[in-house]
Amino acid sequence: MSMTKSKEQLTGTRLLNSIRHNKSTAFTKEEREELGLRGLLPAKIANAEMQQKRILQNFYRKESDIEKYIFLTSLLERNERLFYQVVMQHIEEMMPIIYTPTVGQACREFAQNFRKTRGFYINPGDKGEIRKILNNWPNDDVRVIVVTDGERILGLGDLGSNGMGIPIGKLQLYVAAAGINPEQCMPVTIDIGTNNEEFLHDPLYLGWQEERIRGEEYLELINEFIEAIQDKYPKALIQFEDFTTDNAYKLLNIYKDRCLCFNDDIQGTAGVVLAGILAYERAIKKEIKDMKFLFLGAGAAATGIGDLIVSAMVERGMKAEDARKNLWFIDSKGLVVASRKDLPSYKQTYAHDVKPMDFKEALETLKPDVLIGATGTPGTFTQEIIEKITSYHQTPAIFALSNPTANAECTAEQAYTWSHGKAIFCSGSPFANVVYEGKTFKPGQGNNAYIFPGIGLGAVACQLSRITDDMFLVAAQALANLIQEKDLEMGCMYPSLQEIRKASLAIAVAISKRAYEKGLAQFPEPDNIEKHIESMIYDPSY
């Protein structure tokens, strides 16, 4: 995606203060003369490579990850292209800083560290005027929106308007991992208050300092936002992010057939976990339809994963009701069973007609191949649990998905040590390689960043009218196809982060082909879909 040029050429200090057009010391002698920059910059002309070297030297001098986060944010606020050059070329080091796990701390401290406003805020006082205030956003061609209400940020809970760090971070990954033009990205927080007692009494908190609105008032504000976006930005993809489980499902069910949208916690997480499971099939040479899955956690992420696994089994020829018999869920009250009352609809689907059990008893009874944690509670996969599942299967799969890293159900080292090097381990946040008895294991990071940027790239490039559930199936398969034998040999079910742009392109192509098959792409079908999508990708180089 080529950069949109300003209507009037920027010069002098206006140019140097434009984060989108500033090149700082990289402006050439001729550019300095033509653009009124003589005298405003030091004599030495430093190319992009030299600038990156300087940035990295300063980056490595920072003593904590949050200081690195603030440093990179400062870079973005003065030179957007250099920021993305650094992030893209050093993605394995930078992604844990600009997103999970560091973004969790950045959100907790968002108000304290506030320097320059970014993103778009909507609060109850804007009701009836959301369409009007959208005109204040500086860009007229928004294509990707990430929106949160801040109530369930990662595994940290209700952070209110401090949750803006999540949409900001997600959209940075849309740019870095897929090449969406940053001018076409819009982070949004629908700030409907907070029930976090700390923030309600914190004089530095910057959000709507009242308890959260609920019920019809909440839904009316969301609906006004959706309608305003559809009017102002009819081509925009809306990604729902970090809503509570009930609201996540409610909003997805209301809007999935009415506008171009998806929920990353439900569908994006499902896509990336299914990709890991498809790679696990290859690793142990056992088909998914013959596997049994036990989930610790039964919220939006867990049940979304379950739904997509069922879809994958159905695509292999199983009946949905038979596929669901292979999936079991544990929530705060124990095993989800048919005899329980007042189960929400997303849990009722997986309520089996068996006696109630706790986690340990269910594990011993079901003997699952795959254990998936989506609890937000650290340490729930204990040594006893890992040893038990290892006694049932030669190579069990352990997915400790809770974010940030401190909330993971177990660490990579624990999984490998307690399973005596037999387990396949995947996590939501990054873990370093582990050496156990002389063998190096590479934990797979089942991060949604492998999925949602590619979904967005395909949606933008081919102007999709809808995102359908089966697009996450083809996205998962496209990602799994990139896993190499050398990855599997190290126990890694995901490609290197260095391959993330390749993964995003493959996913964009796959979902675009599915969209054209279903008549859901509004852009005329090109002769070569891959080349068309490649031509749209943003290049941050000078």
- For 302-312, letters b (16+ CB in 10 Å) and e give bbbbbbbbbbb
Which pair of structure tokens corresponds to residue 518? Answer: 């279903």
Mode of pairing for the β-strands spanning 434-436 and 439-441 = antiparallel
CA distance 355 to 373: 22
Q: Are 316 and 291 in contact (CB under 8 A)?
A: no
Residue type, 67: E
Assign 3-state DSSP to the chain and report helix, strand, coil percentages, each to 5. Answer: 50, 10, 40
User: Of 104, 224, 108, which Cα lies nearest the Cα of 161?
Assistant: 108
Q: Choose the catalytic residue: 99, 255, 346, 350.
A: 99
Place of tokens 């890991």: 276
Q: What is the DSSP string of 224-236?
A: HHHHHHHHH-TT-
Q: Which residues contact 49 (CB under 8 A, 6 or more apart)?
A: none
170 is an active site residue: yes
398, β-bridge pairs:
371, 425
Q: Which residues contact 48 (CB under 8 A, 6 or more apart)?
A: 26, 82, 85, 541, 542
CA distance 497 to 445: 9
Mode of pairing for the β-strands spanning 261-263 and 293-296 = unpaired
Q: Choose the catalytic residue: 23, 68, 170, 513.
A: 170
Q: How far is CA 249 from the centre of its chain?
A: 17
99 is an active site residue: yes
Q: Which residues contact 266 (CB under 8 A, 6 or more apart)?
A: 248, 249, 252, 300, 301, 303, 304, 307
- Residue ranges with strand state E in 381-514: 397-400, 424-427, 434-436, 439-441, 444-445
Positions marked active-site: 99, 170
